[in-house]
Chains A and B, each alone.
Chain A
Amino acid sequence: MTWCILACMLAGADPGPTDLAAPVRLMAGGQPINVDIGHAAPFVADLNGDGSRVLLVGQFGEGKLRLYPNVGSKKEPKFEKFEWLKVDGKAATVPTG
């Protein structure tokens, strides 16, 4: 009984660090995000310094990086189209082989 209460208290205090929900695929424009030649590498950042977050997804294809602006809210992020990360007006790349 004591054990149960303790366990419930602990569980109620904070979701455990290993308690993860089943995975769901992130979507953009109603389709799963699926990068060229696979090897998706996601990151979330505020690139403009205005508090709005962007989903960045690196890919193997040409070593390019996709930027998906959040068109939803902070609590419910939503994505439509992406742009390539650009340097001097051209898609930036890193070597892939």
Chain B
Amino acid sequence: MDLDGDGIGDLLTGSWPGELYFFKGKGKGEFAAPVKLQRDGKDISLGSASTVFAADWRGTGRLDLLVGNIDGDIYLLTNDGGNPQPNYGSPRKLEVDGQPIKVPHGDSQPVVADWDGDGLLDLLVGCGDGSVMWYRNVGSKTEPKLAKGVTLVKAAPTPNYNEDAPPAKDIKPGMRAKVCVVDWNGNGHLDLLVGDFSMAYGEKPKLSEEDKKVEKEANAKMQKLQEKMQPTYNEYFKLLQEGAKPDESAEAKKEREKKAQEVLQKKEFQELQKEQQKVFETVQKYQRPFTYQGNVWLYLRKAPSQAAAR
């Protein structure tokens, strides 16, 4: 997308802390160092795990911003003119039937495209549970109105450790869907790319009788250590909560957190933590190894003949 209107494509990204980054395109695939997008001289940040998409949402000829976050909201920041730094309006949540959108499991990622080819821009959203929702625009070019969400891609099963989890080669689409709408195969129909996050488990190691004994002992030791450490954790949380006030100054908050932290820095506790780490390494050796995965899945729109044959 060409955010600054200089005819060269730029890049926009969100970030884990929440700020939005603008990489100005210099042409030939080169980009300038990123700068944070601002509104009224302040960095725009609408919640962590931010995602952003620029589109002419209201048919003004200017690129508005749609922003998602960890809470599953979709914010619209209207571009009210100005170049090269646009004036963004105050963020407001996009709604369906008067209710702000909240996508399942948070981590919303808005994308704008005319998904059904009716000439109006629709909203598609990648969701924390791995699903992809389509909110059809039933309004007009200048006054978009969103219909109730339709599920394009179903949610992924919760990726808990269990004995039946498939090995990496049989992995299925995971959670935290990130969507790209594109005519992948150049047949004139829009398709979906969906990036994800999942965990792939390896084989459970074969355990000898001796291994099983060591594993059992390690598990018991782990529990004992946990019990020994619990009072310190309780004290830490108590100190952390004590004196917390909504109008507390930044310094007072810092001081309170420091005081609580000191409890965890005590020598005896640090030693228990070290021991726990060691035992944890032993316990882990006997479990199925896992790796974090981030794959890209292609969902082609079915060809007319395939769709008719259903």
Chain A positions near chain B (C-beta within 8 angstroms): 8, 11-26, 32-49, 54-60, 63, 65, 67, 74-77, 85-88, 92, 94-97
Contact = CB atoms under 8 A, between A and B. Distances in A.
Contact of A88 (B33, B180, B194, B198): B33
A15 B16 CA distance: 37
B294 A63 contact: no
Nearest to A26: B296
B233 interface: no
B152 interface: yes
Contacts of B173: 23
B245 interface: no
B250 interface: no
B178 A15 contact: no
A66 to B, nearest CB: 10
Contact of B292 (A19, A38, A86, A96): A38
Interface string B179-191: 0101011110101
Contacts, number: 179
Given A20-B300, A33-B296, A38-B294, 20 more contacts: A13-B304, A17-B152, A19-B301, A20-B153, A20-B299, A23-B297, A26-B193, A37-B292, A38-B176, A38-B293, A39-B176, A39-B197, A48-B27, A48-B29, A49-B8, A58-B178, A59-B294, A77-B184, A77-B185, A92-B34
Q: Is chain A's interface secondary structure helix, strand, loop, or mixed overall?
A: loop
B257 to A, nearest CB: 18
Interface residues of B, number: 67
Interface in B1-48: 8-9, 11, 13-17, 19, 21, 23, 25, 27-34
5 contacts: A22-B299, A49-B8, A76-B185, A86-B31, A95-B16
